[in-house]
Amino acid sequence: MGLIDYSTQSKNLMEKHSQWHAVTGQSDMRLYDDGVEAAIRGGDAGAVRICRVSLGRHRVLNENMGLRKGGGRQFKFVFQEAGECVFEQDSRQVTLKPNEWCMYDKARPYHIHNDGFSRQLALMLPVDDVREDLTRWEDHLLRVYPIFEGIGHILHDSLNASIVELASLPEASRYLVGKTLTSLAELTLLDRAGIGGGTSSLAALRNRVIEYIDRNLDDPELDIDGIAAAMQCSKRYLHKVFAEYGQTVSKSIWDRRIERSYVDLLDPAMVDRTITDIAFARGFNDSHHFSRTFKRRYHVTPRDFRRVGRSD
């Protein structure tokens, strides 16, 4: 990325997409024709990437499993300054409103969408640079926190000033800015952990459950009884774990199934398989139930979605 200060200047949506993708490399983002130009300012500060982004209506559907080519695992901190934005990851969904922030894992599938103007500050941080023993970062994925509270307030203001001054700094200074922002991010997570307190074991168990669900999506009998037995804990405790994230175990199972079916319907390797075959391979045992669930989640039928995906 280096340094960037860019705003699309387009007459039509196709040009707008082309310009944005060429500058940012975000091929998984879809912009809409709402008259709002997309703008980005920021760049790399050592291993850290920082930017301010203004966008109109848009969505990001990133279904990649694993690391992006040429880079390691990253966390992305998002500070919402204007408008609202919806984030989805690991069967959890949050709506980020002005003066709130959250973080998510860019190495795991995620969906982002909003229906109007949005302005954000963003900090992308290599996981390897974060002291896991200090921050307990897994506790904080897609948890919404107020910007103007605690050390998060300092991080936000420092990030904003860094974006403004980045282009005027020599490379060595940009590197030190990145290290400083990394330290502030660690302190921010530590500050939040002190407020939340005692959730690390819950977060760790939830992650293990999500991984177990992903490995067993093809089992139509997958349920909380089997998961509790595999995790060697009670069903009541599992309910407590997922309640901390505003979820239930059952909903998480169906959400993961529909998300993986979404990916399968776009997979060229699955082109010869019927929609029913794909649904049943992901643990559904009723094609009508699958179609209703898919349409409720993505606002389009599986058949129409697959047809549009092929035409693209």
Mean pLDDT, to the nearest integer, of 234-260? 87
| Domains of the chain (ranges, CATH numbers) | 3-195 (2.60.120.280), 200-311 (1.10.10.60)
Helix (H) or strand (E) holding 25: none
CA distance 87 to 94: 5
State which H helix or E strand residue 267 sits in: none
Rounded Cα–Cα distance for residues 262 and 297 (Å): 10
Strand order across the beta sheet in which 58-62 lies: 29-31, 58-62, 110-114, 85-89, 92-96
220, pLDDT greater than 80: yes
Q: Given strand 39-45, what is the order of strands in its sheet?
A: 3-7, 39-45, 48-55, 118-126, 74-82, 100-105, 145-146
Distance CA 210, CA 215 (A): 9
Q: What is the pLDDT of residue 64?
A: 65
User: Which residue do the tokens 């690991």 mark?
Assistant: 90
Q: What would the mean pLDDT of 182-199 be, rounded to a whole number?
A: 72
> Would you say the pTM of this structure is higher than 0.85?
no
- Please say if the pLDDT value at position 235 is more than 80: yes
Pairing of strands 100-105, 74-82: antiparallel
Is the pLDDT confidence value at 199 over 50?
Answer: no
The pLDDT tens digits of the residues spanning 258-272 come to 888 888 888 888 888
Work out whether the CA dihedral 151, 153, 159, 165 comes out positive or negative: negative
Residue owning tokens 């559904």? 284
- The pLDDT value given to residue 177: 94
Look at residue 27 in the predicted model and tell me its pLDDT.
67
The per-residue pLDDT of the chain, averaged, comes to 84
Using 50, 70 and 90 to split pLDDT, how confident is the model at 198?
very low
Quick one: pLDDT band at residue 71, thresholds 50, 70, 90? low
Q: Is the pLDDT of residue 197 over 50?
A: no
